[in-house]
Amino acid sequence: MNTLNEQHTNDPTKVKLYLVRVSDLFSQIKTWFQGELEVATDTIQIKEPAGNYEAPTLSLREKGQAEILANIIPQSAGVILTEGMIEINGGLDQIHLEYMTNGGPKVTLEPGNTRPMFNGVNQNGWYWIVDPVTRTTRFTDRASLLEMITWVSDHDF
C-alpha cells in the first residue's frame, strides 16, 4: 500500500497532465475575454513533491488600465483529494480552483456506503469550492470566472 507521501512524490505523468489541464483552462480564459480584458502571460517555477517544473501564469486587467484585477497562478499537481490546484488572487482576497473529475472525490461513511464530498461536480474540470460547509462548488466557465474576479478584486463587471 502506498503512503500519502509516495502517492505525491516525483510523478512526471501527473505533472504533465496537470500542465495540460492548466494550459487548456488558460486558452479558454484568453478566448472568453478576447477584446474585453487584457490577458498577460508569464511563467513561474513550481517545486513540489510531484516534481519541479515551469508553469504558465495569467494576469487580467481592464484594457488600458495598470491595475491588475486578478492573477491566476498554478499551485500544485499533487493535491490531496483533487487532481490539481490553481490560485486566483487579487487586491482583496484569494480563492482556489481544484481540478475534479466527474462526481468528484468521495467519502466512505461505512463499507459500501459512499457519497460525494462536494455537490455539483458533474463533469471533469476546474471547480471553485464556494462553501466547504455546504460542499457547494461552481464549475469554472466565463460567468463564474467573472464572479471569482469580482470576489478577489471587488471589481464589478
The answer as to whether 23 is a domain residue is: yes
What type of residue is 32?
A: W
Residue 132 parent element (H or E): none
DSSP-derived 3-state class of residue 44: strand
**Confidence at 4, pLDDT banded by 50, 70, 90:** very low
Nine cell digits for residue 118: 462536494
The answer as to whether 4 is a domain residue is: no
Please give the residue range of the domain that contains residue 86. Answer: 12-153
The answer as to whether 52 is a domain residue is: yes
Residue with cell 487584457: 38
The answer as to whether 6 is a domain residue is: no
What type of residue is 146?
A: L
The answer as to whether 108 is a domain residue is: yes
Segment 7-18 mean pLDDT:
84
The answer as to whether 61 is a domain residue is: yes
The string of pLDDT tens digits covering residues 76-86 is 998 888 999 99
Strand 125-131 relative to strand 113-116, pairing? unpaired
Exposure of 68 in the CB half-sphere (CA atoms within 13 A): 13
DSSP-derived 3-state class of residue 54: strand
Residue with cell 490553481: 86
The answer as to whether 140 is a domain residue is: yes
The string of pLDDT tens digits covering residues 87-145 is 999 999 999 999 999 999 998 888 888 889 999 999 999 999 999 889 999 999 999 99
The total of structural domains in the chain comes to: 1
The answer as to whether 5 is a domain residue is: no
pLDDT at 1: 36
